[in-house]
Chain A
């Protein structure tokens, strides 16, 4: 069993952070890698990226957005409770080396996934600019940590309640227009945000890495559920990724495949909420 050590609610309870005991994973994990967990015996297998790891305390940190039944169930767990299974580390680690100026662009919960990569890029000796965004100020996460992990942090909100009024792509464009050399851009967030970021950077010819989150089952390359089309070729995000060259990714296919179970997800959530109301009386 994988016990929860710490729990925090971010973004007004829509995003949860858990520090979980998983020593053998904490020892091995590198930035960019993920785990697959099962909350309980009837649970599905949920992939989540490690936002942080501590080999010394043997813990990993997961930060997740509450979007459906499984994440809602996870939110109901408290310190001292445990997950049934956690499997990992899975996927390829981010390729981190000293290459020059790196811009890390994050949206929504994607910032949690972006944080260890940003930190790693800075520690490797790169000049790191971070641009993070959210719909509104209250939903912004990890601002302090991102400030520490980068040399320069820019914040955007869609509604203008904080920082730049508008999308992360607008701030990114400022940097691209400066015509100073940018070695790489890392963009992680909702798929439409990654898609538009890549559209923008393609015009400037700046290499852009994205982290894809298709639906997964095993995470070992056995089932093909996570297949994505990259450069016209089918790749498995769980073993070949999750990071890919964003200019080659077929985002529209990914968006469609993520919606494969919308109806069942709704049914599961309604049933879950129904059951919860009953037991609360």
Chain B
């Protein structure tokens, strides 16, 4: 026994095979290639199968982590996926994009002495294995209840609600504004980080289960929430995300070549502008690219610009490296590929040529002062430190806000000061009877797994309402 423990400790955390940085910086194929079954089993054998697994506390949907890792170790890959499906309908997505180092892996007991178990990579392995090799058995559906639920928005939050409720026997219709389903997973996160075929596969399962999907339906315009009730729906879930771009409000911001990250990434991902002219949507190709901000969205924009042929891509961020909100892996990947970090720097204005195209940006140096409301040290401009940076493409990714399209057309919904919908965190109920909300439109920009968690809570509450009452 003692010997076995020793042996386990010796196996190092298994590296993820990846495309070479130089090669991948010019293509849109996925960067990490995934574990082989052998590597996965080796990594799985590192897990101590703790009786009180601390890692689970770090997972917002409480996945039974040792429970799904054990069958991987034993080579029972379908056993692993069944265990995952008990708690998440998007394991292939979460295994790729969860900030594991701040969640499950942060609390793994192994992490105290050595590196934690690669929970995310194993989750991804199990899901990919099922998708590519395993035959798929649709989960059982409960007997029809005759109740109809409208889910507005097809991001991770809406997809979770739809999946849960359809299994409970309700009729579910998803309304999506875009022509494709998946929310940020489709229009925001790039192909090289989350292949679109994976998201599509998850949506296909929902459709096979009988969920109806109405695309090109902008709720608030095509129908209002109240009209959905008139059309016969018994409950409505709002999961429309944080779909409002935030600009800097500095002079010159409307010059050509200055995009919100939402626009830049939507053009590239959803509309496939990276395949222009095979696809019709154009995109400005910058040589000297500046990305403002340092979250996941900024890293995705910077790495997209590289792949679209930029000579130089700079992240310009007003705080320091410690405050950068992106996942560690994304920052690491971006730097490996050649993205430069210009920290403690903030733009003050943009300059254009006579065609109205951006050619340069004036910046000011910053220093860190006292901590602000978010607990991070507040950046303060250093007087007289202005300088100019040449650029022909700027992507602004300094956050997102609440899109008012639905709240402005739905009497009875209450919003907070920043425009987000107010919902009870324990149930997802809004102030309007029969209406639930969750995901980014309630919390502000957060994570895929939190949006899914909110969806799961709301689905349970909606089920209770449909069977018992408000």
Chain A residues engaging chain B, CB cutoff 8 angstroms = 24-25, 28, 38, 42-45, 69-70, 84-90, 217-225, 227, 229, 234, 239, 253, 256-257, 259-261, 264-265, 267-268, 271
Contact = CB atoms under 8 A, between A and B. Distances in A.
Given A222-B245, A223-B262, A224-B247, A28 B222 contact: yes
A49 to B, nearest CB: 14
A223 B260 contact: yes
Q: Which of A84, A220, A267 has the most CB of B within 10 A?
A: A220
A87 B254 contact: no
Contacts of B223: 24, 28
A231 B302 CA distance: 33
A227 B254 CA distance: 7
A87 B216 contact: yes
Contacts of A225: 259, 263
Contacts of B272: 42
Nearest to A25: B222
A259 B352 CA distance: 14
Contacts of B222: 24-25, 28, 87-89
B215 interface: yes
A220 B243 contact: yes
Contacts of B271: 44-45, 217
A224 B218 contact: no
A120 B356 CA distance: 38
Contacts of A267: 277
A229 B178 contact: no
A265 B276 CA distance: 11
Contacts of A224: 245, 247, 259-260, 262-263
A220 B280 contact: no
Interface in B257-281: 257, 259-260, 262-263, 266-267, 271-272, 276-281
B179 interface: yes
A267 B276 CA distance: 10
A218 B266 contact: yes
B403 A221 contact: yes
Interface of B: 177-179, 215-218, 221-223, 243-245, 247, 253-254, 256-257, 259-260, 262-263, 266-267, 271-272, 276-282, 284, 355-356, 403-405
A242 B173 CA distance: 30
B256 A257 contact: yes
Given A38-B179, A268-B282, A90 B221 contact: yes
Contacts of B284: 260-261
18 contacts: A24-B223, A44-B282, A85-B179, A85-B215, A88-B218, A217-B263, A218-B177, A220-B403, A221-B243, A224-B247, A224-B259, A224-B263, A234-B247, A253-B356, A256-B355, A259-B355, A259-B356, A271-B277
Sort A-B residue pairs by CB-CB distance and give the 5 closest, nearest first: A256-B356, A264-B282, A87-B216, A223-B263, A44-B280
Given A222-B403, A223-B263, A88 B221 contact: yes
B179 A220 contact: no
Nearest to B243: A222
Contacts of B281: 44-45, 217
Given A222-B244, A234-B254, A239 B405 contact: yes
Contacts of A221: 243-244, 403-405
Nearest to A43: B280
Contacts of B405: 220-221, 239
Given A259-B256, A261-B282, A271-B277, 11 more contacts: A44-B282, A70-B280, A87-B218, A89-B221, A219-B218, A221-B243, A223-B266, A260-B257, A260-B284, A264-B282, A265-B282
A255 to B, nearest CB: 9
A229 B254 contact: yes
B255 to A, nearest CB: 8
A240 to B, nearest CB: 10
Contacts of A220: 177, 218, 243, 403, 405
Contact of B256 (A42, A89, A256): A256
B243 A86 contact: no
A28 B280 CA distance: 29
Contacts of B259: 224-225
A197 B221 CA distance: 31
A90 B247 contact: no
A268 B280 contact: yes
Contacts of A264: 276-277, 282
A42 B279 contact: yes
Contact of A268 (B215, B216, B262, B277): B277
A234 B253 contact: yes
Contacts of B215: 85
B254 A217 contact: no
Nearest to B249: A234
A221 to B, nearest CB: 6
A25 B216 CA distance: 10
Nearest to B177: A220
A260 B266 CA distance: 17
Contact of B245 (A28, A87, A88, A223): A223
B267 A257 contact: no
Contacts of B266: 217-218, 222-223
Contact of B280 (A69, A88, A217): A69
B351 to A, nearest CB: 14
A90 B218 CA distance: 8
A27 to B, nearest CB: 9
A38 B271 CA distance: 10
Contacts of A253: 254, 356
Contacts of A260: 256-257, 284
A256 B259 CA distance: 15
A257 B244 contact: no
Contacts of B355: 256, 259
A214 to B, nearest CB: 10
Nearest to A271: B277
A254 to B, nearest CB: 10
A228 B279 CA distance: 27
Q: Which of A38, A88, A218, A257 has the most CB of B within 10 A?
A: A218
A191 to B, nearest CB: 14
Contacts of B256: 256-257, 259-260
B177 A87 contact: yes
Q: Which of B280, B282, B355 has the most CB of A within 10 A?
A: B280
A257 B356 contact: yes
A26 B68 CA distance: 51
Nearest to A254: B254
Q: Which of A43, A90, A239, A267 has the most CB of B within 10 A?
A: A239
A257 B179 contact: no
